[in-house]
């Protein structure tokens, strides 16, 4: 069943069957099936982007296979681990798996795979002659796909920046792709051409292939109800990153392209998610294929004719009609006076660009001298230091000097539109001079994209008068001492009542009835699969109490509502489609202002923070001003030891800041 669903690209269903088979076979005599289920699960996990869990399953399966002394399964697991390590450019691990694979391949069934591993490792280690000899040997061997060698050679050529070689090899891949009618592979092939021509400074040819790549993906997206495979999705984003880079000479167009990429998936959700199915095959071609297919039952000689019609579909390149947002309208929004909007964007070659819009000033595009890898390291260290209470203002100043100071901002309010791991940096805890936190000097808010924020601000200022709070103090082994009193206190400011020990059904029953929804409960992020991240409600019968992001997207919230997620780590980010976990899910379901936490919040300080926020918001302060005042309340609380960023910098306001 798992294989059947995987073939239909319904990987979530396939994974559920994998999990059932793993659980049922693990402690039985059918250990072979257990190991096979782990292998299939790893394949499906990898296809859905859950690389860490996939790798863990492969290692678990390898250990089980060694314990079971099954050499064939051992070699299968080692081969997958070898290729996965090479795909991640981890030569050290790849070498280890290669040595084991050679040791266990007693019947020489994996000679091709072993030689391929040696060739790529040699190439990655700059042993060119050895690599060429191994690739020469591979050309003489039989393998199950003609695509394998040219694709790995392309990886090596890209690593060596031999762009002419990339083009030559990719031409072979294009010919094979067209020959075999693998239309879904064409976007990645054209992207490889685009990257190579870009690096050879042949921008026109690069643009030509980029437009082909994106046009085919848009066509697939329209015809398959937006269910893009992970590979196509990654190609889609990389193509837009390169297109934005190519258009960098025109800051406005480049800015709008970058924002189009950030907004695309969430805007689909907000405007009712599904893209209507559209046929990408002309009526004449479709009719011809249908008639030939019916006749094929009686006449197998029609196979060539069917193939010709399929090739017409494969080779047809649709027109690319981009509908970029018109961000010049920002000037017309009165609530953006004395405001700076900073949209950060990583280019395909991992460089960081900042698009800076300030009211009354010309749009600026500023290239910052920091790489994507450096930002990932800074983000990880910053969160770790904050959690360990060793993040000081001088540390915040060092980051500010890299990311904000070069932008020369003069506005009172800064709206950050981060990209990728920049979402993990709490800009409010940075420092411009090493004496004060940025939140002490500026209003700070965030947005998933500029165009989504623009749409939110075009409407009237929200008048939020009704509130419902939900609390659940225990979930599995997690206990939160202050959440019940927190929920009762904040809802009292609006003369409402909180639901203590709330179940999912309590929320779904009233989800679209209130202007403000407050959640005081445990939350958990699933890093590999953010749509499975959840809020922990009370368990009832067969209901496990988990309200996942995926389930949340099917629940209607009151349009324009404010959501406060006073829970731990509700602001996780997946770079693929710009997902912002539970916070993103709330916005996708109708909320326009979402306050969420970047790490596991302290429930005692959270109770003080939320009370202060709602008191000021009820009195007429904007949501951004109220968040600033709540932060300042804790920063001043030195006697209670709540002045550290750990206690207040976790909360971010996303969306409509009014």
Per-residue pLDDT tens over the stretch 156-172 = 999 999 999 999 999 99
Instruction: Check if the beta carbon of residue 393 is closer than 8 Å to that of residue 429.
Output: no
Radius of gyration of the chain (CA): 27
540 pLDDT more than 60: yes
Q: CA nearest 657: which of 627, 613, 620, 616?
A: 627
Give the pLDDT confidence score for residue 532 in this predicted structure: 80
The rounded percent of the chain whose pLDDT value lies above 90 is 68
pLDDT tens digits along 588-597: 899 999 999 9
* Weakest mean pLDDT among 365-369, 381-385, 565-569, 646-650: 565-569
Give the pLDDT confidence score for residue 5 in this predicted structure: 40
Sequence-distant (6+) residues with CB within 8 A of 135 are 119, 149, 153
Instruction: Check if the beta carbon of residue 566 is closer than 8 Å to that of residue 602.
Output: no
Q: What is the mean pLDDT of residues 371-375?
A: 97
Beta bridge pairs of residue 524: 534
Q: What does the domain layout of the chain look like in residue ranges? A: 283-315, 328-455, 460-655
| pLDDT band (50, 70, 90) for residue 413 | very high
Higher pLDDT, residue 365 or 142: 365
307 pLDDT more than 90: no
Give the strand order in the sheet containing 534-536: 523-524, 534-536, 546-548
| pLDDT band (50, 70, 90) for residue 469 | very high
Domains 328-455 and 460-655 share a fold: no
Higher pLDDT, residue 172 or 291: 172
- Report whether CATH 2.40.100 matches the domain 328-455: no
Burial per residue of 562-588, b for 16 or more beta-carbon CB atoms within 10 angstroms, e otherwise? bbbbbbbbbbbbbeebbbbbbbbbbbb
Give the pLDDT confidence score for residue 650 in this predicted structure: 94
575 pLDDT more than 50: no
Beta bridge pairs of residue 546: 536
Beta bridge pairs of residue 446: 416, 654
Give the pLDDT confidence score for residue 175 in this predicted structure: 96
Is the pTM here over 0.85, yes or no?
A: yes
Q: What is the mean pLDDT of residues 448-462?
A: 94
Q: Hey, what CATH class is 460-655 in?
A: alpha beta
């Amino acid at each position: 069943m798992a294989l059947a669903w995987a073939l239909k690209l319904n990987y979530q269903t396939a994974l559920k069957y994998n999990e059932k088979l793993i659980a049922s076979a693990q402690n039985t005599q059918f250990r072979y099936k257990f190991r096979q289920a782990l292998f299939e699960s790893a394949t499906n996990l990898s296809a859905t982007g859950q690389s860490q869990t996939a790798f863990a399953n492969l290692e678990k399966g390898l250990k089980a296979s060694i314990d079971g002394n099954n050499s064939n399964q051992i070699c299968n697991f080692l081969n997958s681990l070898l290729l996965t390590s090479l795909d991640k450019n981890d030569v050290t691990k790849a070498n280890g798996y290669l040595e084991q694979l050679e040791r266990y391949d007693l019947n020489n069934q994996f000679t091709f795979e072993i030689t391929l591993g040696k060739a790529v490792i040699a190439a990655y280690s700059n042993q060119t002659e050895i690599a060429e000899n191994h690739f020469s040997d591979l050309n003489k061997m039989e393998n199950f796909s003609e695509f394998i060698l040219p694709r790995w050679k392309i990886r090596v050529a890209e690593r060596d920046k031999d762009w002419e070689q990339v083009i030559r090899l990719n031409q072979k891949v294009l010919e094979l792709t067209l020959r075999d009618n693998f239309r879904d592979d064409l976007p990645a092939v054209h992207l490889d051409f685009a990257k190579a021509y870009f690096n050879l400074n042949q921008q026109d040819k690069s643009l030509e292939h980029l437009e082909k790549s994106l046009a085919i993906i848009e066509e697939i997206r329209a015809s398959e109800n937006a269910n893009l495979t992970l590979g196509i999705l990654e190609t889609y984003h990389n193509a837009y990153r390169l297109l934005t880079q190519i258009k960098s000479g025109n800051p406005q167009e480049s800015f709008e392209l970058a924002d189009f990429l950030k907004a695309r998936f969430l805007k689909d959700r907000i405007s009712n998610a599904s893209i209507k199915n559209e046929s990408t095959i002309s009526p004449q071609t479709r009719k011809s294929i249908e008639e030939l297919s019916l006749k094929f039952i009686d006449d197998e000689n029609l196979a060539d004719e069917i193939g010709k019609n399929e090739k017409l579909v494969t080779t047809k390149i649709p027109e690319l009609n981009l509908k970029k947002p018109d961000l010049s309208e920002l000037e017309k929004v009165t609530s953006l006076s004395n405001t700076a909007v900073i949209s950060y964007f990583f280019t395909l070659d991992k460089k960081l660009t900042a698009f800076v819009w300030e009211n009354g000033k010309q749009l600026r595009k500023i290239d910052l001298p920091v790489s994507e890898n450096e930002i990932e390291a800074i983000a990880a260290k910053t969160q770790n230091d904050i959690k360990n209470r060793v993040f000081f203002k001088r540390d915040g100043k060092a980051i500010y000097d890299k990311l904000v100071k070069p932008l020369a901002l003069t506005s009172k309010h800064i709206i950050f539109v981060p990209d990728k791991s920049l979402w993990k940096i709490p800009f409010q805890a940075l420092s411009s001079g090493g004496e004060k936190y940025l939140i002490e000097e500026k209003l700070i808010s965030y947005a998933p994209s500029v165009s989504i924020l623009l749409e939110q601000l075009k409407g009237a200022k929200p008048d939020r008068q009704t509130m419902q709070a939900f609390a659940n103090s225990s979930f599995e082994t997690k206990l939160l001492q202050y959440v019940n009193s927190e929920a009762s206190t904040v809802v009292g400011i609006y003369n409402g009542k909180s639901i203590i020990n709330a179940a999912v059904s309590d929320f779904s029953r009233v989800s679209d009835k209130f202007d403000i929804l407050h959640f005081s409960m445990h939350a958990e992020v699933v890093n590999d699969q953010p749509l499975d991240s959840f809020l922990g409600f009370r368990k009832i019968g067969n209901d496990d109490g988990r309200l996942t992001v995926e389930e949340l997207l099917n629940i209607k919230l009151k349009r324009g509502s404010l959501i406060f997620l006073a829970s731990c780590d509700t602001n996780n980010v997946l770079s693929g489609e710009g997902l912002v976990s539970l916070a993103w899910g709330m916005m996708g379901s109708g909320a326009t202002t979402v306050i969420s936490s970047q790490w596991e919040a302290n429930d005692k300080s959270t109770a003080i923070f939320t009370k202060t926020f709602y008191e000021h918001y009820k009195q007429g302060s904007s949501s951004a001003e109220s968040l600033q005042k709540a932060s300042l309340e804790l920063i001043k609380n030195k006697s209670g030891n709540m002045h550290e960023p750990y206690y207040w910098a976790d909360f971010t306001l996303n969306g409509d800041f009014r």
